[in-house]
Amino acid sequence: MTAASLAPAVSLARDLLRLPSVTPEVGATFDFVAAVLTRAGFAVERPVFAEPGTVPVENLFARIGTGAPHIAFSGHLDVVPPGDVGAWHHDPFSGAIEDGLLYGRGAVDMKGGVAAFLAAALAFLERQGADFRGSLSFLLSGDEEGPAVNGTRKLLDWCVARGERFDAAVVGEPTCVESLGDVVKIGRRGSLSGTVTVTGRQGHVAYPERAANPLATAAAVATALTGAPIDAGTAHFAASNLELVSIDTGNPSWNVIPAAARLRFNIRYNDLWSRGSLSAEIARRVAAVPTAAGVSAAVAFETGYGDVFLTQPGPLVAAMSAAIAETTGRPPALTTGGGTSDARFIKDLCPVIDFGLVGTTMHQVDEHVPVAELEALAAIYGRFLDRYFGA
């Protein structure tokens, strides 16, 4: 299949897949995208962010237009490692096309989404011209698959410091479950992680009176955390769920009472809670557990992650829903399930939604996307731009 015979979204995706960009090494992909956008009239900048203990990460901001409304497309061009290259049927950085499928690391997550929006934006500018009413920009990170500390969050801070203002944003992460257009994510649950440390006194198993075993209290803490539901859910969100992910003493011996036990947990929570109120509820549950003599329990929460948010129905949601219905013949479900995305950073600046490809093969060996799905996604994004800008 020649490049001339490929649809623009497919050609762009194949070119991106041929440029290895295992996080955070994204320079070549940014060179490519910058060239494409510069030719189309975008002003392109590539700020690099770093902080102690992390590697510097390049990001990309491109904008065309000066007026409102200003809509941003957010995504990332870094990818996870391919794993065992020998297990792939095609080189993970070859951009091979076989039987209507485009293969490569990042085909779904998320070079395919970036390519579809690039194709849609270029076609929109050809239809409307560079003087369309409003502004269109790209926020592309090189740190989404990595620690996520030198990427979108810092890029947004950089934009705000320069006076950029956004009216709406679309994150192009793979969101669909079974078929393209079945799901638009209009919000995300919050994520809160923590560790309960139950401290006792180490001793010999044969002399328990000389020790204080923390494990009975740790078991009671586990019951306190998981025994009662956190809530019953809300109109747009499922019930919050707390999952224990580790209970550990670090004790390799059979005849030693451990000095401490640690319980690690993660909570995905809905809009009944904020990070602060949920932390207080978990601390209350831990404090209510009776402790044996010489045993104490304390909880500490991890920093980072994102708070819960919901994008209410409005022009953004309506335009994307209509564009999907026009392209696929059916309206999407509006959901808030799944994990987090960079929308957790954008939601403080403007309404934001997540919509992209079907996520079946992301991060897998032989990651791939149907070329027809890429073309359809570009068509949806194009109709969305027309509707949002009132073209």
Task: Show which residues are catalytic.
Answer: 78, 144
112 and 54 Cβ atoms separated by less than 8 Å: no
CA distance 310 to 37: 31
189 and 267 Cβ atoms separated by less than 8 Å: no
Quick one: CA dihedral 284, 285, 289, 295, positive or negative?
negative
Count of CB atoms situated within 10 Å of the CB of 60:
23
Question: Distances from the Cα of 288 to the Cαs of 192, 223, 275, in angstroms?
Answer: 20, 12, 20
Question: Distances from the Cα of 128 to the Cαs of 28, 108, 221, in angstroms?
Answer: 30, 29, 61
